[in-house]
């Protein structure tokens, strides 16, 4: 089975990872949380592109065969650049050599799967004709989201709000209780007041707050997490690319080891890693605490326990 590289600004992408794992439990997984620079939400686009490149290089060097950008903000800022630089058919020879080098000759171009804001399914589901989107400022101002929204904004009204403080809550492990409820209500209430009966979670951290979001929104409001659709799309792409059937050199069982990745100042810094089971390597550029805390929460409901 191939090895799937997944990254996010922090532990939020674990909400996507768990859906992928549910579909492909036998694959190898390298998850990278860029905690040293979390949150990405209001960081400049160029900075996020720089981080996305460094993390892609790291994932390829550890054996990834395909990359999932499990972060709406990083998808909005960087996926077209990543596709152009690592996957374009007219890629320059130096980049091809770079990829061949990093992937130990396994690949000379790389496929990237990004997050899609689930505006289309929300538009099909709404009865009030109003859908609400919760996301980071970076995602809401990105071209990718705006284009999708504009396609549907003739048919339905789309109202948006930044999930203020949601990423920080999730990273600190505060996913229930009074503080979580107060924080969620402050950003969700304006969407409910506008008449939204479907809420799209446009940030991969937010599904960790889904119980609180459902409780504040009430039973007549549907909440959409796009992660299952992303997992489904990944499988389709892997099938098309022959990654599911073509025998690839078996990835060795992961072991924690000393690893490093490139920092914005050009230095390299240690990457924390741990291995909850032999086909999963969890890495983080900063403190590993959030990933260690949220991994069991994300994988608690797996049919194949880890």
Query: What residues contact residue 272 under an 8 Å CB cut-off, 6+ apart?
Result: 283, 284, 285, 286, 287, 288
User: How far is it, in rounded angstroms, from Cα 143 to Cα 121?
Assistant: 19
Total of residues contacting ligand DGL (CB under 6 A) = 16
- Binding ligand DGL (rule: CB under 6 A), the pick from 71, 79, 209, 282 is 71
Smallest CA-to-CA distance from 134 within 33, 232, 221, 21 is with 221
Smallest CA-to-CA distance from 66 within 95, 109, 125, 105 is with 109
Q: Is 202 known as a binding-site position? A: no
Query: What residues contact residue 247 under an 8 Å CB cut-off, 6+ apart?
Result: none
β 268-277/280-284 pair status: antiparallel
CB of 124 to ligand DGL, least distance (A): 23
Residue 169 binds to ligand DGL (criterion: CB under 6 A): no
Per-residue contact track with ligand DGL, 90 to 129, x per CB under 6 A? ----------------------------------------
Q: Is 9 known as a binding-site position? A: yes
Structure tokens at 108: 């000379």
Residue 136 binds to ligand DGL (criterion: CB under 6 A): yes
**Are 53 and 70 within 8 A, CB to CB?**
no
Residue 39 binds to ligand DGL (criterion: CB under 6 A): yes
Select from 23-31, 201-209, 256-264, 266-274 the region that touches ligand DGL (CB under 6 A): 201-209
Question: Backbone dihedral region of 160: left (phi > 0), alpha (psi from -120 to 50 degrees) or beta?
Answer: beta
- For residues 5 and 39, which CB has a smaller minimum distance to ligand DGL in the complex? 39
- For residues 64 and 70, which CB has a smaller minimum distance to ligand DGL in the complex? 70
Note if 261 is an active site residue.
Answer: no
CB of 264 to ligand DGL, least distance (A): 16
Q: Is 205 known as a binding-site position? A: yes
Catalytic sites, residue numbers: 71, 203
């Amino acid at each position: 089975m191939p090895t799937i590289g997944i990254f996010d600004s922090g532990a939020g992408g674990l909400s996507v990872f768990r859906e992928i794992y549910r579909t492909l439990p036998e694959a190898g997984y390298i998850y990278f949380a860029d905690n040293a620079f979390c949150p990405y939400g209001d960081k400049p686009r160029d900075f996020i592109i720089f981080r996305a490149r460094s993390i892609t290089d790291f994932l390829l060097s550890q054996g990834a065969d395909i990359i999932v950008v499990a972060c709406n903000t990083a998808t909005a800022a960087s996926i077209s650049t990543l596709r152009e630089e690592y996957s374009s058919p007219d890629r320059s020879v130096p980049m091809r050599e770079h990829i061949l080098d990093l992937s130990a000759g396994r690949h000379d171009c790389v496929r990237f799967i990004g997050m899609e804001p689930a505006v289309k399914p929300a538009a099909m589901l709404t009865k009030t004709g109003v859908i609400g989107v919760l996301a980071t400022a970076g995602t809401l101002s990105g071209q990718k989201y705006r284009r999708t929204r504009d396609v549907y904004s003739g048919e339905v009204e789309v109202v948006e709000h930044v999930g203020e403080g949601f990423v920080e809550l999730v990273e600190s492990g505060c996913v229930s209780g009074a503080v979580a409820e107060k924080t969620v209500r402050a950003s969700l209430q304006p969407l409910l007041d506008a008449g939204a009966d479907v809420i799209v979670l446009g940030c991969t951290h937010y599904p960790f707050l889904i119980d609180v979001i459902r409780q504040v929104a009430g039973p007549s409001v549907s909440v959409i997490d796009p992660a299952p659709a992303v997992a489904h799309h990944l499988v389709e792409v892997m099938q098309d690319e022959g990654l599911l059937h073509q025998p690839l050199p078996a990835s060795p069982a992961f072991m924690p080891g000393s690893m490093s990745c490139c920092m914005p100042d050009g230095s390299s810094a240690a990457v924390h890693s741990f291995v909850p089971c032999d086909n999963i390597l969890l890495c983080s550029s900063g403190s590993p605490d959030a990933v260690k805390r949220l991994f069991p929460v994300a994988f608690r409901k797996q049919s194949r326990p880890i």
